[in-house]
Amino acid sequence: MIEVILDDERWAAFGLEALAEQAVAATLRGLDLDPARIEVAILGCDDAHITILNTDFRGKPSATNVLSWPEADLSAETDGGIPHHPEPDPDGTISLGDIAIAYDTCAREAAEQGKPMRDHVTHLIVHGTLHLLGYDHIRDLDATRMETLEVKLLGIMGVPDPY
């Protein structure tokens, strides 16, 4: 189940709920996970709210495009390794975690990069979902694995390579 919470009404007009459900489900199916068994919460907010979150959780007092809070650490032990598979709860569901995405930063970045905001937001939701699944881009080979997977998943959804 994908729960979308809209803290900024611009996301409602944009259609974040439907886009988020589509992007998360496509990401999960692309990794052979059943979207019906997965729980993810997505907060659509503005720069002011994400600045507070970024400050509180990462010690960075600035806005960012997307943040994620994985339910469990699924990251690979070795650089470039495959993250661990998420374990289901006793009821069979898999709680992956939470994502927050900021309208102002997404709109600005899409304009600066000359791409449709819909494509940019789709990419960031895929990116955040992969973080929930243990993918990261801090180490070089991990970054290569994550970006390659993003490009593949976005291609399946008809979104051009964002890199």
What is the DSSP pairing of strand 94-102 with strand 38-45? parallel
Residue 31, beta-bridge partner list: none
Tokens 């997307």, located at residue: 66
Tokens encoding 102: 């900021």
Residue 4, token pair as written in the block: 């979308």
Largest interatomic CA distance in the chain:
46
CB atoms within 10 A of CB 119: 17
Question: What is the rounded distance in angstroms from the CA atom of residue 69 to the CA atom of residue 31?
Answer: 19
Kind and range of the H or E run holding 42: strand 38-45
123 is in an annotated binding site: no
Annotated binding site: 127, 131, 137
Annotated binding site for Zn(2+): 127, 131, 137
